[in-house]
Structure 1
Amino acid sequence: MHRNVAIGLAALASLSLIDAAHAGETKYPLTIDNCGQSITFEAAPERDVTVGQSATEILYSLSLGDKVVGTSVWFSDVLPEFADLNSGIERLADNDPSFESVVAKKPDLVSVSYEWHIGPQGIVGTREQFHDVGIPTYILPTDCVKDNSAGVDGTRLEMYNTDALYRAIRELAEIHDVKENGEALVADLSKREAAAVAKAKETKSGDVSAVFWFSSAEMDVDPYVAGRKGVPGWMMEKLGLRNIVESDEEWPVVGWETIAKANPDIIVVAEMTRRRFPADDVEKKLEFLKTDPVAKEMDAVKAGRILVMDAHSMDPSIRNISALEMLADELPKLK
């Protein structure tokens, strides 16, 4: 076995406990169908590299941090409970790592949050490039139901839902022979998800519209806002909100005049430590909303119906649940 299973004193361990422990073990070789490819593992990976914060935090949450030898693509600070762990693991890049830097870590597995990083048009590399040098890649299923053919964060073919997130957790747990950890994590997240939805239903009243602003390439250009099928669209559907944006793109660019005309009741802005674009800074977002001649006239700005949300919660990740909980708590206060 590749983990310790506490079954009490050996002299008192019952046959049923031993059978249960073996039932939870992964049987190798293990073949997983992943984003249109089959990947086979002869044993649990001992060295992991992650390309994407979501993949990193899933592995940490599965108690697999000791297997991670390199991380990359960060939007926000790591979850506080993993700060000490993460500080001892090499960060290959804040944003996009090079193919060479990933390969140099000699990983047994590269776990990927977004296909546009490692995929048919991957800017880090294609899956075939990694497989040719004997390194398997696993793309989170949350990104497999999108058209990423243009080499960017693409168009969703169906609404995001946490089934794909929970599948990612279970499969990474199975690959690493920690299936019990995966089931425990899924059970906790799904319980919290259901409670947040129930709370929202108890307090929801009337038609409430919203827009989620992730960032902007420049402060004075049209912003990247949430399409209707991504994570924010899922949140809005779960909580009974109406998205003013009707695009199926993950983060379409929409003009402020169009947003102001729709006049959303609530504006949710992303907060992140990444600084790829000027509008990554949440303070600059808030200042823009209060001073721009068009944006400042929206009712949500005048009334202060602006919520700040962790940016990584707006992309598929285990943070989706805490963001859903935050919205369920805050929405009644904004009436």
Structure 2
Amino acid sequence: MNIKSQTRQFAVIAAVSLISSLSFSSSWAEETHYPVTIENCGYKTTFDAAPTHAVTLSNNATELMLALGLEDHMAGTSYMANLTISPEYAGAYKKVPILSPLVATTEQLIDAEADFVYAGYPDGFSKKRHSREQLQDLGMKTHLNTEGCNLGKYGFEQLYAEIRTIAKIFNVNDRGEALIEKLSARVAGVEEKLKDVEAIPVFIFNGGESAPRAVLGNTMHSTVVQLAKGENIFGDMPNRYGTVSWEQIAERNPTFIDVFYSGTASGKVVDNPTRDLGDVRISILKSNPAIADTTAVKQDNFVTIDSVMGQPGPSSVRALERLAKAFHPEAFE
């Protein structure tokens, strides 16, 4: 090797070393410096270190923790009922104890020695179960996904902020950015396919026979429908959920009905949520004469979304892909 080649080789090695050191420094700069105080839904919580016995009180909180690779920091999960975890998190999910198919009780949290209790929606913290104040008095730090604060519209930017917050609490900021990059790439892929597509009116049905319940505008689900080039017919109502009338649905004439369901009914776990809730709700819609003339019912345009996909979390992108393909199959041919 001549001197010129050696010089070039050393220059390349030096450049690679410099890039590596800069990346390493950048990684260190992004580390969480404890103590760190997090403001969340009107509460301020200070963390002196990453929690080691976290417990989740909803399926979307569980998936977000697993998506960040935090199963080793978890003492338990709850409220999956008989719904199924997303396939990509199934392996990690098996490593974490399931405390309850419903929301874990205060006693179960104490037995698990929980030091961090994370709810993906407000059901996890309530006076009939345990408030955040009660749990914090027991030495458990708490966190609620900010959609549950009902601060207004909630979309992927708010979800990414939630991911960054949880990543910061556990000092896995690099993992948080990697997850956001992965999710945002999938969102962009759907948006690209739908860029020339016109939106269709969509009713998001959340159960009820005499008085139908609707998913309203201040939800991740409503935003996902919008990104899938659907227009939530009750998206102008500034709340998360609410009761509407069959006459209002008929008047707004949805082209598609998005049937949303969880894994429980009247506070009890159902055996088969898809059959016992999703399919039953479609039957209710089909048999109601008040909406028989809507485009959705006449054309049998129904799509089901369970709460694993419908609540704000990593699987929101799965919901987006599912809805986009249902609403506009021609764009994915």
Q: Structure 2 length normalisation: TM-score?
A: 0.82
- Which of 123, 131, 135 is equivalent to 2:136? 131
Could you tell me which amino acid in structure 1 is paired with residue 286 of structure 2?
A: K
Residue 289 (structure 1) aligns with: 285
Give a deviation string over 1:111-158, Cα, whole Å, max 9, x none.
12123432xx544222221221221111222323x2xxxxxxxxxx41
Structure 1 spans left out of the alignment, 5+ residues: 1-11, 147-156
Tell me the residue number matched to 2:237: 247
Conserved 8 A contact 1:288-1:295: no
Q: Distance in 2 between matches of 1:174 and 1:242?
A: 34
Q: Give the aligned partner of residue 146 of structure 2.
A: 141
How far apart are 1:60 and its partner, in Å? Answer: 0.3
The one-letter code sitting in structure 1 at the alignment partner of 2:326 is E
Question: What secondary structure, in the 3-state scheme, does the structure 2 residue paired with 1:297 have?
Answer: coil
- Residue in structure 2 matched with residue 4 of structure 1 by the alignment: none
Q: Counterpart amino acid of 2:218?
A: K
Report the Cα distance in structure 2 between the residues aligned to 1:239 and 1:281, rounded to whole angstroms: 23
Name the counterpart of 1:27. Answer: 33
Identity of aligned residues (%): 28
Which one of the candidate residues 216, 220, 233 is aligned to 1:227?
216
Aligned AA (1:43): A
Q: Provide the residue aligned with 2:8 in structure 1.
A: none
- Give the counterpart letter for 1:161 in structure 2: G
2:97 matched residue in structure 1: 90
- 8 A Cα contact 2:230 2:327, kept in partner: no
CA distance in 2 between counterparts of 1:71 and 1:99 reads 13
Give the residue type in structure 2 aligned to 1:172: I
Q: Give the CA deviation at 1:282.
A: 1.3
1:197 aligned onto 2:191? yes
The structure with the largest helix share of the pair is 2
> Which of 102, 107, 111 does residue 114 from structure 2 map onto?
107
Cα distance in 2 for residues equivalent to 1:37 and 1:92:
26
Whole-angstrom distance in 2 between the partners of 1:311 and 1:26? 31
Tell me the equivalent position of 1:301.
297
* Equivalent residue, structure 1, for 2:14: none
1:78 aligns with 2:70: no
Q: Mind listing any 5+ residue stretches in structure 2 that lack a counterpart? A: 1-16
2:200 to 205, 208, 214: 208
Cα separation, 1, equivalents of 2:248 and 2:163: 38
Q: CA RMSD in A?
A: 2.6
Instruction: Give CA deviations for 1:44-79 in whole Å, capped at 9, x if unaligned.
Output: 111111111111101100011122111122263111
Q: What CA distance in whole angstroms lies between the structure 1 residues aligned with 2:21 and 2:182?
A: 28
Rg comparison, structure with higher value: 2
Determine the C-alpha separation between the residues in 2 that align with 1:72 and 1:323: 22
Query: What TM-score, normalized to structure 1?
Result: 0.82
* Greater relative contact order (Cα < 8 A, sep 6+): 2
Q: How many residues align?
A: 306
SS of equivalent to 2:46: strand
Matches of 1:97 and 1:18, distance apart in 2 = 40
